[in-house]
Structure 1
Amino acid sequence: MSDQIEFRSHVLTKHRLALESLLFFNSCQARVASCIADAVETFGAPEIVPEGADRLRVRIDGMQEEAQALFAVEAATGRPVGVAIYTRPDLEHIAVLHLSISAEYAAGGPRSDEQLLLRLLREVRRSTRRMKGVRRLELYYARGRMPASRWRSESKELA
């Protein structure tokens, strides 16, 4: 089961519609709509941009720091089924600003047993461990309705 999903830093251009659907028209967004609205208001909206001739990446429009994206893709097709958009606001923290998981992999979906959200966050954490000085991975959506101004100093830590 787990070998059916790969984690990549890009999505091929031919999967643009699937990526747009995942990011902007995801049926699971209603579950965290207020968190999404807060994140967009605080950091900016995700934007799909071309990278080279055949790749796409996601950036946060208007954000001074460069955002990174990690995509969960189906190994057989390359179709994106999950994405985590994150940044490094300071030397010690990685902040996950946006998350999106395809409905089929989300809670209640037919493939929910693959725990894609948890695996995606673990992969972000694993990839950021190589960065010198990073001590915490913070999840913006889990900040408990804390005002954005206090979030950076009092965010929750993933174990």
Structure 2
Amino acid sequence: MSKIEFKSHVPVAQKPALEALLFFNSCQERVSACIADAIEKFGSPEIVADRDRLRIHVKGLPEVQSLFAIDTETGRPVGVAVYARQDIEHVTVVHVGISAEFASGGRRANEQLLLKLLREVRRSTRRVKGVRTMDLYYATGRTSAPRWRAPAKVLM
């Protein structure tokens, strides 16, 4: 079983794999309403090349960031979280993609890649001064959904 590492970019050579993950993911039907809602609110994600690296850009979010889960054996992106700082205290994950093999029912589902990816986003945003909460838009797009909060004594 290969290891997973987290990076802020993907090599240009992995563009087809990133397109498959972000746009042609077989698991999208599970959250299609949430995806449509996020695209309507924030804009559609686009893959952009920055020299020899690929990143995700969202037209409605100029300061958007991405975190990719990379299979170390193949270099293939198997997960992505696209997030932005909505205000001084809040970071919102606006798009998420997980390869089918890691999704519920997949052969590597027990590795809990989605949870690990979101934990890594939370860990990286803790270093940003003032950030106190992280929302997963697919879960919080509705106002009644709970919000993930950092413990009171720990700033995100």
TM over 0.5: yes
Normalising by structure 1, report the TM-score. 0.89
Stretches of structure 2 that go unaligned for 5 or more consecutive residues are 151-156
User: Which residues in structure 2 correspond to 1:2-151 (within 5 Å)?
Assistant: 4-52=3-51, 54-61=52-59, 63-143=60-140, 145-146=142-143
Corresponding residue pairs, total: 150
Partner secondary structure for residue 76 of structure 1? coil
Query: For residues 41 and 78 of structure 2, what CA distance do their matches in structure 1 show?
Result: 25
Q: Which ranges of 4 or more aligned residues in structure 1 deviate by more than 2 Å? A: none
Q: CA deviation at 1:78?
A: 1.1
Query: For residues 76 and 51 of structure 1, what CA distance do their matches in structure 2 show?
Result: 23
Q: CA deviation at 1:64?
A: 4.3
Partner secondary structure for residue 148 of structure 2? coil
Residue type of the partner of 2:147? K
Partner secondary structure for residue 7 of structure 1? strand
Same amino acid, percent of matched pairs: 61
Query: For residues 8 and 141 of structure 2, what CA distance do their matches in structure 1 show?
Result: 29
Normalising by structure 2, report the TM-score. 0.91
Partner secondary structure for residue 56 of structure 2? strand
Higher helix proportion: 1
Contact 1:65 1:88 in 2 (8 A): no
Residue type of the partner of 2:25? N
Query: For residues 49 and 158 of structure 1, what CA distance do their matches in structure 2 show?
Result: 31
